[in-house]
């Protein structure tokens, strides 16, 4: 009976993995069809919203319900619900049914379509930076980013594939290249228009989009946060802003047992336990503020802080508080 149940469980697990891979392939196909086949190869182009950049939204919604239902932690379930909601509304329904262009820095040369939170120079981009300064990178990378949403829903079965260890942690310096690319973009926005600026903007977006969608195909081998960890120019720059801001994860070292569960649960490969031992807090570029280390800590030794907490430190007697709650 047990052997039969094990085989059934293995088949179910393999089916979930296969469906997740198909979900990523569908998102990539939609992007390629909607963005390039129309002009590059019209004979292969399929004119439908279901094979466009909205394919990513559709697959997030399809897998989102299962991810929310499978999640047992109250805080993480709320975060998943918020992710799916923002994908369905801010990134899906509003741009499709009520499209409008945002004000932008004149140097951008265009008025980006809403939401422009990932378009340096758009009005909402600057609002986003302010929110991240006050409340941390989780405003975007934890609660509202399509990149996170597809990885937390479609890529959920591949969390254990996350590359960890000292070598992977050393590679984090690669993100400084992404930050510099982002900074150059911002500088060019406020310079006189030039051919170089136009070419740079074009290449910047090509590299971002192709790197983003190609990273979906590597998720089964590298974990669901591969693009976020090393290549995302927005997340990396947001991480810098967040590090300079108010958000951090504090540790009560008197409660910490040194079990390392915080490190093993982090999809970004952050050595949380080492940071807790050395600094008593997690305030690094790589932290997206998802709160998984907080919710997974069996001793409830970690607490998320932002501007709302002011200078306050960790309060004692949190036995009645759910992990990750304010």
CATH for 270: 3.30.70.20
Q: Is 231 contained in some domain? A: yes
| Residue 248 β-bridge partners | 305
Domain identity same for 263 and 237: no
Confidence category of residue 87, pLDDT binned at 50, 70, 90: very high
Residues 120 and 265 in one domain: no
Structure confidence at residue 38 (pLDDT): 85
Report pLDDT digits (tens) over 241-285. Answer: 999 999 999 999 999 999 999 999 999 999 999 999 999 999 999
> Does 205 lie in the same domain as 58?
yes
Q: What is the pLDDT of residue 310?
A: 66
234 domain residue, yes or no? yes
Residues 197 and 300 in one domain: no
Please tell me whether residues 162 and 302 are part of one structural domain: no
Looking at the structure, do residues 233 and 304 belong to the same domain, yes or no? no
Return the beta strands (E) in 78-165 as ranges: none
Predicted pLDDT of residue 99: 93
User: Rounded distance, CA 71 to CA 247, Å?
Assistant: 25
Give CA–CA dist 85/78, Å, rounded.
10
Write phi, then psi, for 281 (nearest 5 degrees): -160, 165
Looking at the structure, tell me whether residues 173 and 271 fall in a common domain.
no
Tokens 């600057």 belong to residue: 126
What's the chain's average pLDDT?
90
What pLDDT is attached to residue 113?
92
Q: Which helix (H) or strand (E) holds 133?
A: helix 123-135
Q: Is 80 exceeded by the pLDDT of residue 324?
A: no
**For residue 53, is it within any domain?**
yes
Q: Are residues 119 and 266 in the same domain?
A: no
Q: What integer pLDDT is reported at residue 8 of this predicted model? A: 80
Number of independent structural domains in the chain: 2
Percent of the chain residues past pLDDT 70, beyond the cut:
93
Q: Residue 4's pLDDT band (boundaries 50, 70, 90)?
A: low
Please indicate, yes or no, whether residues 91 and 157 belong to a single structural domain of this protein.
yes
How many C-alpha atoms does 285 have within 13 Å on its Cβ side?
20
| 39 band by pLDDT with thresholds 50, 70 and 90 | confident
- Residue 315 counted as domain residue: no
- Same domain for 99 and 222? yes
Check if the beta carbon of residue 201 is closer than 8 Å to that of residue 121: no
Q: Identify the weakest region by mean pLDDT among 39-43, 126-130, 184-188, 230-234.
A: 39-43
- The answer to whether residues 55 and 160 belong to one domain is yes
Residue 7 located in a structural domain: yes
The answer to whether residues 295 and 228 belong to one domain is no
- Per the structure, the complete domain to which residue 50 belongs is given by 2-242
């Amino acid at each position: 009976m047990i052997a039969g149940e094990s085989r059934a469980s293995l088949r179910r697990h393999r089916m979930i993995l296969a469906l997740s891979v198909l979900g990523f392939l569908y998102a990539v196909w939609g992007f390629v069809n909607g963005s390039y086949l129309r002009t590059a190869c019209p004979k292969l182009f399929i004119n439908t919203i279901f094979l466009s950049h909205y394919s990513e939204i559709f697959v997030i919604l399809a897998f989102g319900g299962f991810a929310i239902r499978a999640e047992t932690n109250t805080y993480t379930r709320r975060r998943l619900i918020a992710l799916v909601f923002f994908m369905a509304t801010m990134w899906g329904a509003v741009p499709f049914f009520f499209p409008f262009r945002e004000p932008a820095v004149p140097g951008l040369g265009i008025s980006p379509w809403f939401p422009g939170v990932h378009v340096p120079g758009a009005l909402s981009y600057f609002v986003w930076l302010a929110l991240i300064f006050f409340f941390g990178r989780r405003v975007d990378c934890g609660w509202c980013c399509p990149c996170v949403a597809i990885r937390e829903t479609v890529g959920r079965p591949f969390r254990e594939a996350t590359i960890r260890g000292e070598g992977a942690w050393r590679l984090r310096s690669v993100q400084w290249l992404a930050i510099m690319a982002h900074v150059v973009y911002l500088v060019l926005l406020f310079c006189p228009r030039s051919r170089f600026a136009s070419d740079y903007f074009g290449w910047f977006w090509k590299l971002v989009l192709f790197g983003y969608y190609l990273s979906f195909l590597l998720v089964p081998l590298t974990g669901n946060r591969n693009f976020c960890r090393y290549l995302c120019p927005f997340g990396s720059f947001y991480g810098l802003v967040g590090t300079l801001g108010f958000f951090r994860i504090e540790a009560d070292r008197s409660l910490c047992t040194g079990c390392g569960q915080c490190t093993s649960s982090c999809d970004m490969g952050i050595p949380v336990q080492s940071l807790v031992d050395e600094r008593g807090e997690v305030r690094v570029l790589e932290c997206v503020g998802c709160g998984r280390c907080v919710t997974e800590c069996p001793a409830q030794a970690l607490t998320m802080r932002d501007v709302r907490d002011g200078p306050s430190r960790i309060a004692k007697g949190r036995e009645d508080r759910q992990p990750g709650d304010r």
